[in-house]
């Protein structure tokens, strides 16, 4: 258990945990002593995250699931409960981009992004709340974004990430009486495959893209997945029980 992670060991699910922010968060929660279901579209791609956790003496379990698919989510919960037990921590992190200006955005670009982020968080949270209520304890952390404030080329993503904030606040209101908190983390620029893909789409070398972003950020650097994992670690801890329904921007400076 890391020094900051003074939590009772729980069973956690982190979606989109094969890489990026999800992988860092899964590894961090395992360091805090939690058993972690490392969920992603492709189970094989979860191996690196699972191996890292196991090598550090933690408990982890790869689960292949599509969070936007109801049957897949139901099957994932059966697998997780059989393999690890009933989950009381859920980090809804899985995400995709289908960026385009509105006039070029296809209906499938819209549906895919809303499907993974919003429908995915809904399906996962609806399944998880039952076990959290049984336990009288639960922690839900949803990944929003500074794009929720509006971002050119991201009408679908901005809508999903703004929706995630309303969803989070509503979960906090409905589930608080059962010992369940819900909070949203809204990252700024985090160096992952997702931001690398954006640089590629814009035909800007990733190094230059990072340097340009860092120049605009008060702390003078872009974020790393660990910057998000650190906050997730706190939000799922026992000590965060009075923090609920919040949207916390993690962007190296103020956002408005
Ligand atoms: P990433 O590196 O692209 O990782 C996202 C992961 O989610 C991938 O492993 C992906 O699997 C998985 N995934 C996609 N669709 C899925 C589905 N339907 N079911 C299960 N897993 C699925 O992204 P990231 O940068 O770490 O971002 C993680 C989260 O933070 C996302 O919600 C993102 O919107 C949010 N965020 C990121 C940033 C940033 O700057 N990076 C900023 C703000 C918010 P595949 O590889 O198989 O597609």
What is the β-pairing status of strands 138-143 and 89-92? parallel
Contact of 161 with 225, CB cutoff 8 Å: no
Give the pLDDT confidence score for residue 148 in this predicted structure: 98
- DSSP label at residue 154: B
Output the CA 219–ligand 1 centroid distance in Å. 24
Is 22 a pocket residue for ligand 1 (Cβ < 6 Å)?
yes
Q: Ligand 1: which atom is nearest the Cα of residue 228?
A: 30
Which of helix, strand or coil describes residue 170?
A: helix
Three-state DSSP class for 183?
strand
Helix (H, G, I), strand (E, B) or coil at 116: helix
Residue 5 backbone class (left: φ over 0; alpha: ψ -120 to 50; beta: rest): beta
Q: What is the pLDDT of residues 63-91, one digit of tens each?
A: 999 999 999 999 999 999 999 999 999 99
Q: How far is the CA of 130 from the centre of ligand 1 (A)?
A: 25
Q: How far is the CA of 209 from the centre of ligand 1 (A)?
A: 19
pLDDT of residue 5: 45
Residue 213 sits at φ, ψ, to 5 deg, of: -65, -45
Cβ neighbourhood burial of 234 (10 Å; 0-12, 13-18, 19+): middle
Catalytic site positions: 157
96 lines ligand 1 (CB under 6 A): yes
Half-sphere exposure of 69 (CA within 13 A, CB side): 9
pLDDT in the model for residue 6: 52
250 phi and psi angles, rounded to 5 deg = -120, 85
Task: For the chain, list residues with pLDDT below 50.
Answer: 1-5
Q: Which one of 43, 67, 94 would you pick to mutate in the ligand 1 pocket, going by the greatest count of ligand atoms within 8 A of its CB?
A: 94
Tell me the C-alpha distance between 196 and 19, whole Å. Answer: 13
The C-alpha R_g of the chain, in whole angstroms, comes to 17
Asked whether 95 lines ligand 1 (CB < 6 A), one says yes
- Most informative mutation of 28, 38, 40 for ligand 1 (most atoms within 8 A of CB): 40
């Amino acid at each position: 258990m890391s020094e900051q992670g003074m939590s009772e060991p729980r069973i956690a699910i982190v979606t989109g945990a094969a890489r990026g922010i999800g992988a860092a968060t899964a590894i961090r929660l395992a360091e805090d002593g939690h058993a972690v279901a490392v969920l992603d579209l492709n189970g094989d791609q979860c191996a690196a995250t699972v191996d890292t956790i196991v090598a550090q003496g933690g408990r982890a379990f790869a689960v292949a699931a599509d969070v936007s698919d109801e049957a897949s989510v139901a099957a994932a919960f059966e697998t997780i409960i059989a393999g690890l037990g009933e989950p009381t921590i859920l980090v809804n992190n899985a995400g995709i981009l289908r960026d385009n200006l509105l006039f070029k955005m296809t209906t499938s670009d819209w549906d895919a992004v809303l499907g993974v982020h919003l429908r995915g968080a809904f399906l996962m949270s609806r399944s998880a709340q039952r076990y959290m209520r049984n336990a009288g304890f639960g922690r839900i952390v949803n990944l929003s974004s500074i794009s929720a404030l509006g971002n050119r080329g991201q009408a679908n993503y901005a809508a999903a990430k703004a929706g995630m904030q309303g969803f989070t606040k509503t979960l906090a209101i409905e589930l608080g009486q059962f010992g369940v908190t819900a909070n949203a983390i809204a990252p700024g620029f985090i160096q992952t495959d997702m931001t690398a893909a954006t640089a590629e789409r814009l035909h800007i070398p990733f190094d230059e893209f990072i340097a340009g972003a860092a120049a605009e950020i008060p702390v003078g650097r872009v974020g790393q997945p660990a910057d998000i994992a650190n906050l997730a670690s706190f939000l799922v801890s026992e000590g965060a029980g009075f923090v609920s329904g919040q949207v916390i921007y993690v962007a190296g400076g103020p956002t408005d």
